[in-house]
């Protein structure tokens, strides 16, 4: 049996709209940065604050290859914003998947 989730159409439309808005914002940000030759990156402490991970976990993710340096300036590492987004997504996905699973029901055939 497949598991299903029932959602009101207006709620689904709002989710799709929010998703598309996020994609559009990212595309605009990337375009602006490319036009101005700006590298999107963050400092390690900014990554910790944004994602809610300890510095040791950030270092572990770097050693695993999930966070790459976008640049290194005066001995300070800057992490690629794309890697940060992907890491945050993988962390959030686990939580979201558990929440969705708890709300799903088995479809009767």
What was the pLDDT predicted at 38?
Answer: 84
Look at residue 73 and tell me whether its pLDDT is greater than 80.
no
What was the pLDDT predicted at 16?
Answer: 95
For residue 4, what are its two tokens?
């299903």
**Mean pLDDT taken over the chain:** 89
What whole-number distance in Å separates Cα of residue 62 and Cα of residue 50? Answer: 16
The pLDDT tens digits of the residues spanning 18-64 come to 999 999 998 998 899 889 988 788 888 999 999 999 999 988 998 99
What was the pLDDT predicted at 48?
Answer: 92
Its pTM surpasses 0.85:
no
What whole-number distance in Å separates Cα of residue 46 and Cα of residue 19? Answer: 24
């Amino acid at each position: 049996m497949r598991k299903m989730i029932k959602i009101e159409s207006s709620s689904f439309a709002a989710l799709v709209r929010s998703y598309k808005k996020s994609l559009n914002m990212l595309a605009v940000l990337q375009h602006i940065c490319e036009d101005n030759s700006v590298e999107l990156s963050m400092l390690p402490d900014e990554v910790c604050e944004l994602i809610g991970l300890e510095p040791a976990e950030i270092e572990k993710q770097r050693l695993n290859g999930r966070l790459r340096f976008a640049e290194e300036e005066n001995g300070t590492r800057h992490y690629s914003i794309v890697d940060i987004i992907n890491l945050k997504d993988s962390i959030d996905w686990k939580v979201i998947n558990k929440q969705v699973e708890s709300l799903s029901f088995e479809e009767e055939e």
